[in-house]
């Protein structure tokens, strides 16, 4: 019976259902797929008929997944991932060059530090025929896309814990307190985060690792930040800080860009904070040679940051900060240990 029903379900059915499952919203799924809302609705209802199992239910004015729907979404991820892995492993074994490399990274790695563009430019000098498709988003979205097989490699400050993923640390950088340039604290090189506990905070949107790092740093200082302004871009966050709407915690890589209305200050103990940047990609035969080459270039650039050959701009009123590699080595094979950081941006 199960095998008969399985034969009715196609890859297209699962792909549409997964897009819907991410948002539980027919309109948003339709917009992402570039089809009409009725097309998504018909696809989900047809899938229910094919499986003879209800997958969604009405909850007031919205539709949500039943438990059976969540189970299907979870298993469909694995099916589609296996399809991508099978094709990738076959092409790699046949020696076919990979012309398109799909890369996902969190916002600050393309904007502030510019680490990812630097790595891609260096790889392209050795592989002139390679093309890139890059996008940036929250760490949740980046890691989810990698696990779904939508991307070949991800750069993020959090690490997936799936055992079939290779996760390697590249470098570690400090987190800084951003304040308006005219703020009384701006003249100081180091501040205790507890000194701004009563201030308004500007933060990245929920689900971002930048926001998670900020909340964790504030927790170490003994308070919960009062977030009054949210943004989905670190430059936007700093512009709000510069306008006097609050303070924020930003990665050290933002020092690569001067903002005339913002001062970035070192956070002193005990609330000082750092983040580690990782590269992640599927292990085994699923990883094409181009992916492994990109990881090698990324590790070399991370090592250069550790040695200080590419230092960032100095913090206001303080000497240049040191960026170093992650302190703990990885187990043999380059896989990150289980229990790594949860998702964020």
Q: Considering only residues 84 and 130, tell me which one the structure prediction assigns the higher pLDDT.
A: 130
Domain chopping of the chain, boundaries: 2-79, 98-169+278-307, 173-274
User: What number is the average pLDDT over the span 70-94?
Assistant: 75
Number of Cβ within 10 Å of residue 166's Cβ equals 23
Confidence at residue 285, expressed as pLDDT on a 0 to 100 scale: 59
DSSP 3-state assignment of 269? coil
The phi and psi torsions of 75 (rounded to 5 degrees) equal -70, -35
Q: Do domains 98-169+278-307 and 173-274 have the same CATH topology?
A: yes
Classify domain 98-169+278-307 at the CATH topology level: D-Maltodextrin-Binding Protein; domain 2 (3.40.190)
Tell me the CATH architecture of domain 2-79.
Answer: Orthogonal Bundle (1.10)
Q: What is the pTM of this model?
A: 0.62
Per-residue pLDDT tens for 178-211? 999 999 999 998 999 999 999 999 999 887 888 9
**Rounded (10°) CA dihedral 56, 60, 61, 67:** -20
Confidence at residue 334, expressed as pLDDT on a 0 to 100 scale: 39
DSSP alpha helix (H) spans, the chain: 2-8, 11-23, 26-33, 37-51, 67-93, 115-126, 139-148, 209-220, 234-242, 289-307
Per-residue pLDDT for 103 more than 70? yes
Question: What CATH number is given for 173-274 in this structure?
Answer: 3.40.190.10
Sign of the alpha-carbon dihedral angle for 143, 145, 150, 156: negative
Contact 150, 141 (CB under 8 A): no
- Round the average pLDDT of the chain to a whole number and report it: 80
Confidence at residue 96, expressed as pLDDT on a 0 to 100 scale: 61
CA atoms of 301 and 284, how far apart (whole Å): 24
Confidence at residue 11, expressed as pLDDT on a 0 to 100 scale: 85
Number of Cβ within 10 Å of residue 139's Cβ equals 28
Confidence at residue 91, expressed as pLDDT on a 0 to 100 scale: 66
């Amino acid at each position: 019976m199960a095998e008969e029903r399985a034969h009715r379900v196609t890859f297209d059915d699962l792909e549409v259902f997964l897009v819907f499952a991410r948002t539980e919203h027919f309109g948003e799924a339709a917009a992402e797929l570039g089809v009409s809302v009725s097309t998504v609705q018909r696809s989900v209802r047809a899938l229910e008929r094919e499986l003879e199992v209800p997958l969604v239910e009405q909850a007031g004015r919205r539709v949500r997944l039943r438990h059976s729907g969540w189970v299907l979404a979870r298993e469909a991820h694995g099916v589609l991932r296996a399809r991508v892995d099978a094709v990738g492993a076959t092409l790699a074994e046949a020696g076919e060059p990979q012309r398109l490399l799909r890369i996902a990274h969190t916002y600050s790695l393309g904007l502030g530090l510019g680490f990812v563009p630097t790595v891609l430019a260096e790889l392209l000098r050795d592989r002139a025929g390679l093309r890139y498709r890059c996008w940036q988003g929250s760490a949740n979205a980046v890691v989810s896309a990698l696990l779904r097989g939508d991307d070949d490699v991800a750069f993020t400050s959090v690490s997936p814990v799936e055992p079939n993923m290779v996760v390697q640390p590249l470098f570690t950088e400090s987190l800084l307190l951003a304040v308006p340039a005219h703020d009384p604290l701006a003249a100081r090189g180091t501040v205790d985060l507890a000194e701004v506990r009563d201030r308004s905070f500007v933060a990245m949107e929920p689900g971002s690792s930048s926001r998670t790092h900020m909340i964790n740093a504030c927790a170490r200082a003994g308070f919960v930040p009062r977030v009054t302004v949210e943004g989905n871009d670190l430059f936007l966050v700093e512009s709000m800080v510069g306008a006097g709407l609050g303070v924020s915690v930003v990665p050290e890589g933002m020092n690569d860009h001067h903002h005339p209305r913002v001062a970035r200050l070192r956070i002193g103990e005990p609330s000082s904070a750092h983040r580690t940047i990782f590269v992640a990609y599927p292990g085994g035969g699923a990883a094409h040679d181009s992916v492994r080459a990109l990881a090698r270039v990324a590790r070399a650039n991370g090592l250069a940051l550790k040695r200080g050959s590419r230092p960032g701009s100095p913090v206001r009123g303080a000497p240049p900060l040191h960026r170093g590699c992650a302190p703990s080595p990885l187990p043999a094979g380059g896989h990150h240990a289980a229990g790594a950081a949860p998702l964020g941006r």
